[in-house]
Amino acid sequence: MKTGFDQVIMHETSQMKFWKGDFGDAYTRRNSGDFNAECMQQFGVTRDSLNEGYLGDLPRSLRILEVGCNRGKQLELLRGMGFSDLWGIDINKKALEIAKKSPTFNIVEASAFDIPYKDNFFDMVSTSDVLIHIHPDDLLKALSEIVRVTKRYILGFEYYSDTFEQRTYRGHEGKLWRGDYKSFYIKHFPFLRELKQKTLRDISNSNVDMIFLLEKAHHGK
């Protein structure tokens, strides 16, 4: 199912310019490895096993949007689980070119600030290390869009800390923050409830990520 949207006018931030440019292109090239092997090396568990633990019991008919899908590696894993109604948005053209090569994905150029779909269009919206690259001052706008377009579930996998902290990212400042994104969602959208959450410690250092699944308490109403 296509919507006819190819591009939307975006609220341009300095972080967006960064990821749309050469740095984002280089990231897309680096991000070409096996997702399961990368996750195993970093956390001692495959991404497939994490997906199964959080999504395994859900109907395969769910319409799922990944915000910041890059080249579509997570969407590929979801397709391997049997999900078929898979959508993605990203702002980097190189990544979009690769993701669009899959005839079964619905991929458009768009940002988290302007998701070009109607309210409750998706059964689930997910992010994976995407919110961490949004300035905390802009975060609520992005989450408002995610909450708006999901009918029921929100899946997040983000760099975790009890408090929001800027971290130097490959020599750059103002491009990465870690924080408690699950609690930020629930604080600002109290109708969201936590279904599952787990922290994952990086094997090689002290970094921690959190995976969480939230649900709209009033879904279907």
**pLDDT tens digits, residue range 159-204?**
999 999 999 999 999 999 999 999 999 999 999 999 999 999 999 9
| Predicted confidence band of residue 4 (pLDDT cuts 50, 70, 90) | very low
Residue 134 pLDDT more than 70? yes
pLDDT of residue 220: 57
| Predicted confidence band of residue 6 (pLDDT cuts 50, 70, 90) | very low
Residue 2 pLDDT more than 90? no
Largest CA distance in the chain: 47
Q: What digits encode the pLDDT tens for the residues 88-97?
A: 999 999 999 9
Alpha helices in the chain (DSSP H): 14-20, 22-30, 35-43, 47-55, 73-81, 93-99, 136-149, 181-188
Residue 31 tokens read as 């991000």
Residue 10 pLDDT more than 80? no
Q: Which residues, in sequence order, are bridge partners of residue 211? A: 157, 198
The DSSP output letter for 192 is E
The DSSP output letter for 5 is -
141-166: b or e for each residue (b if 16 or more CB lie within 10 Å)?
Answer: ebbebbbebbbbbbbbbbbbbeeeee
Phi (first) and psi of residue 75, to 5 degrees: -60, -35
Three-state secondary structure call for residue 182: helix
Q: How far apart are CA 108 and CA 90, in angstroms?
A: 7
Percent of the chain with pLDDT over 70: 94
Q: How far apart are CA 70 and CA 68, in angstroms?
A: 6
Q: How far apart are CA 162 and CA 15, in angstroms?
A: 23
Query: Which region among 1-5, 12-16, 209-213 has the lowest average model confidence (pLDDT)?
Result: 1-5
Residue 8 pLDDT more than 60? no
105 and 72 Cβ atoms separated by less than 8 Å: yes
Percent of the chain with pLDDT over 90: 93
Q: What is the mean pLDDT of the chain?
A: 94
β-strand pairing of 192-201 with 208-216: antiparallel
Q: How far apart are CA 218 and CA 221, in angstroms?
A: 6
Would you identify the CATH topology of the domain 37-216? Rossmann fold (3.40.50)
Residue 221 pLDDT more than 90? no
pLDDT of residue 12: 86
pLDDT of residue 210: 99
SS (H, E, C) 148-170: HHEEEEEEEEEECCCCCEECCEC
Q: What digits encode the pLDDT tens for the residues 29-76?
A: 999 999 999 999 999 999 999 999 999 999 999 999 999 999 999 999
